[in-house]
Structure 1
């Protein structure tokens, strides 16, 4: 039975790996996400295997192996450039701080191994002949679109509290519902989330935000109050849902814009957002990109919203171009995306003006000082003046007038312009 939703080379090499284990007298199956995604018709990005062979026995059969998590029974086997995690059947001991087992014990029964997994849709194994080992009804739950814990939800969430956030993430990304007993177990055990590292929670949040319907995940998190129990509360129920109705319209490829919109809907200032994103373990680059959207929004509000009307004149055009130069094209484009997905009556700038901003931005001739065809030294030489604060001001002026198409970007025109400005300022 062939894989439909896995890349051919990866599927073929995983089967070679599995067959090798079988030929040496071991049991072996595909397991977990690849089996689930094949049943769901979703693209498969990696393929994990489970086997009765011990890690040492696995490493003895293949030339290129990495002891990824050998203490927990996991070995990565590389087959023609494709990495596969191969894990020995195991049961787990007592969990420490609701996040990891203190010990694992290797077993010979795959059903014992599947029993330790989080949700029934992830507790399905597939044999080389295409048959399934499915002791907990994972196929039926997948067909019905239900997230259901394996066995007792209280036990599963008590073992690893991150599973509660994963539960919400699966429901959001897959568009599935959560079984009643699983939801009740989540509410009962949510305080255990305080033991989970923020980095692990953030990874799950990022997957929610990159999904097709992030608003569903956010609503489930809000209803459950789950994240209020994190070491640093990440979201709670602060956001204005109306402002987020168009969240899914934003491309998952511009996830930082989604985060910007979320913080905007939570009425975070750029300063507050920066403080929180740092606590939530975002990288400095991600933090700066997201906060830039909010800083630009604050500047737009300061410059335009106080007016009774927004006159689409030359002054407005140059003002917008100046903002694009200050904040960068990516931030300006991201802010425009944010504004366009807001309900019309909640936008701070009418859509026709947003269209003009986009047009004016696309017509800009330069975006950085390095694009000017004159250097600071040439400016000082032409004006016979030593370096000082005036030089930076002059360069910024030249950048604006060139970007706006007022002055040509050639040396003679630029020198004429700076002489004009210098003369007019005495």
Structure 2
């Protein structure tokens, strides 16, 4: 490639390294393309002029070539990892093999030069053919240096559908307590990649078997599904939304809304994601409490479903429905008498057919109710609008100003079922 040629023309060695070499050999789409070079960062800067100093301490700069970013890192070796995550010291070295020897797994410790020849000192290509995840050198040492590598090993095994090398498994068991040294946001990022990967079921089964998450800084192990709880029929490829995948995992684990929110916060998901997951789990709890799974008549199920969607939000209801449709066995666990009445396509249709899904979608506003009734503004306005919304969503009232105002004129604020209901 042109970038490597430019470095070589300046008198330095340069190679494609790491994941891009692995994925090229596997025939997978290339994502990040990393380059290792004998040139120091200031020399790379001199060659390309304008670069982004993304990690000068570790010898990394980012070069923009044809609008695409490429990380270029000087050959290096690393000393002890006192914090179990970052090297205490980085030293630049002149040769590629030393640089490759510091990497985590054999299939990530390969390089390709401008001549197209593979540099593979640790038999990574053979491990790709064997379909095995194996550490470079001693697994205990690799995991002792960087405890996050243990989660990465599981993620690679699930994503590539590889097996874990026995020595790697032994090293993981020996070093798993060191996961407590890893920041929760890094753990959350790895688990998120597992959930968004090719086979989340296998990833979380391997994770459960490993016992790794029991040693995290914050309690997360109890919130994740065990191997036996994972739905065997989950069709993960149907779920493009990672939050829907997490909903499957948390529903399988028997999580409630409060627990889902707590787990999301522990994994350092942002507030919006935490709220979405908690709302989806609230849908599940509210449906159970309202007797949705025991209702045998369609009208009763529809009323419970629409009321739940209004209470939790139609987005949350849709997220819950995506998860349940992709893993039918989750519904079977909830319907004690069988799933004869489980019709996810009907629930989806009922959501689509709702004339209004929120108060803002009504054809009347709160100030209009105040003028109509002559009453002072207060909590009654929100209660009246909520009552109107439910009747519109259920199809009992048209979403038109006239009928809505007429219905609101008799509202006194009592709860549904009493004289004051709109």
Instruction: Give yes or no for TM over 0.5.
Output: yes
8 A Cα contact 1:240 1:266, kept in partner: no
TM alignment of 1:50-199, pairs within 5 A:
50-199=36-185
2:303 is aligned to 318
2: CA distance between counterparts of 1:296 and 1:155? Answer: 46
Count matched residues: 410
Pick aligned residue for 1:393 from 379, 383, 386: 383
CA deviation string 1:304-330 (max 9, x = no partner): 1584x43212x4423322221222222
8 A Cα contact 2:180 2:217, kept in partner: yes
1: CA distance between counterparts of 2:323 and 2:392? Answer: 28
Pick aligned residue for 1:377 from 367, 377, 388: 367
- Indicate how the Cα distance of structure 1 residues 252 and 129 shifts in structure 2: closer, same or farther if over 3 A, else same: farther
2:246 is aligned to 259
1: CA distance between counterparts of 2:343 and 2:411? Answer: 30
- Indicate how the Cα distance of structure 1 residues 123 and 166 shifts in structure 2: closer, same or farther if over 3 A, else same: same
TM alignment of 1:242-321, pairs within 5 A:
242-249=229-236, 251-304=238-291, 307=294, 309-313=295-299, 315-321=300-306
Q: Which moved more, 1:329-338 or 1:237-246?
A: 237-246
1: CA distance between counterparts of 2:315 and 2:235? Answer: 19
2: CA distance between counterparts of 1:145 and 1:44? Answer: 19
2: CA distance between counterparts of 1:249 and 1:230? Answer: 26
2:203 is aligned to 217
1: CA distance between counterparts of 2:387 and 2:166? Answer: 63
Shift of 1:396: 1.0
> What runs of 5+ residues in structure 2 fail to find an aligned partner?
414-418
Q: 3-state SS of the aligned residue for 1:275?
A: helix
- Indicate how the Cα distance of structure 1 residues 294 and 133 shifts in structure 2: closer, same or farther if over 3 A, else same: same
2: CA distance between counterparts of 1:250 and 1:324? Answer: 25
CA deviation string 1:190-236 (max 9, x = no partner): 11111111111111111111112111111111111111111123225
Q: 3-state SS of the aligned residue for 1:268?
A: coil
1:408 is aligned to 398
2: CA distance between counterparts of 1:284 and 1:117? Answer: 34
Shift of 1:421: 4.8
Pick aligned residue for 1:362 from 329, 336, 352: 352
- Indicate how the Cα distance of structure 1 residues 352 and 261 shifts in structure 2: closer, same or farther if over 3 A, else same: closer
2: CA distance between counterparts of 1:194 and 1:229? Answer: 6
Q: 3-state SS of the aligned residue for 1:77?
A: strand
RMSD: 2.1
Shift of 1:376: 1.1
2: CA distance between counterparts of 1:91 and 1:215? Answer: 36
1:234 is aligned to 220
Shift of 1:415: 1.5
What is the TM-score normalised by the length of structure 1?
0.91
8 A Cα contact 2:355 2:392, kept in partner: yes
What is the TM-score normalised by the length of structure 2?
0.92
1:6 is aligned to none
1: CA distance between counterparts of 2:236 and 2:104? Answer: 31
Q: Which moved more, 1:236-245 or 1:256-265?
A: 236-245
8 A Cα contact 1:209 1:252, kept in partner: no
CA deviation string 1:397-422 (max 9, x = no partner): 22122223332222222222223556
8 A Cα contact 2:15 2:37, kept in partner: yes
- Indicate how the Cα distance of structure 1 residues 351 and 56 shifts in structure 2: closer, same or farther if over 3 A, else same: farther
- Indicate how the Cα distance of structure 1 residues 20 and 336 shifts in structure 2: closer, same or farther if over 3 A, else same: same
1: CA distance between counterparts of 2:237 and 2:75? Answer: 42
1:333 is aligned to 318
CA deviation string 1:30-83 (max 9, x = no partner): 111111111111111121100000111001111220111111111111123211
Shift of 1:240: 6.3
